[in-house]
Amino acid sequence: MRLLLLTLLLATLAPAAHAGPFNTRCLVAEGSKKPVQLQFSTVGDDTSGWAGGFVRYGSHSRPISLVRMRESHVDTAPGRPMAFTTVWLEIVGGLAMGSYEVETQGARIQRFVYTPKRTGLGTTFVENPAIDVGDDGSCRWTATG
């Protein structure tokens, strides 16, 4: 299983040199006693359909690799953008440690839930539009104090 996951991760990294710019979103845990900041960054190649990404907790943590496992979409009302649900697998040390389920419609994140494999208990995050994304593609958490 480890070899399969490592192979999958390496295969997804290969096209990164030709992929488009990162899309970064800054989120915070909903209802958390202590603020949990999450940077969610993705990159993809529309021609091949490849996508990859990473998350980073706070401003000083190391990036955690994400591999897109599946994506589905639903047509909504006429004139409205399609709604997408994407499940990202979190890879740490070559092992799947959890998943992120992201529901989007247009430019908005409708739902974002992290579920660690160990506990199975999900944490919901909400986008924080007050946080700026710097030229380097990182969330500027210091803007909120």
The pLDDT assigned to 79 comes to 82
Neighbours of 133 (CB within 10 A): 16
Return the residue matching tokens 């908005």. 108
AA letter at 13: L
Which stretches in the chain have pLDDT values below 50? Answer: 1-19, 143-145
Q: What is the pLDDT of residue 20?
A: 53
Q: Which residues of 97-111 are buried (b: 16+ CB within 10 A; e: fewer)?
A: ebbbebbbbeeeeee
pTM: 0.79
The ranges assigned to domains in the chain are 2-128
pLDDT of residue 92: 96
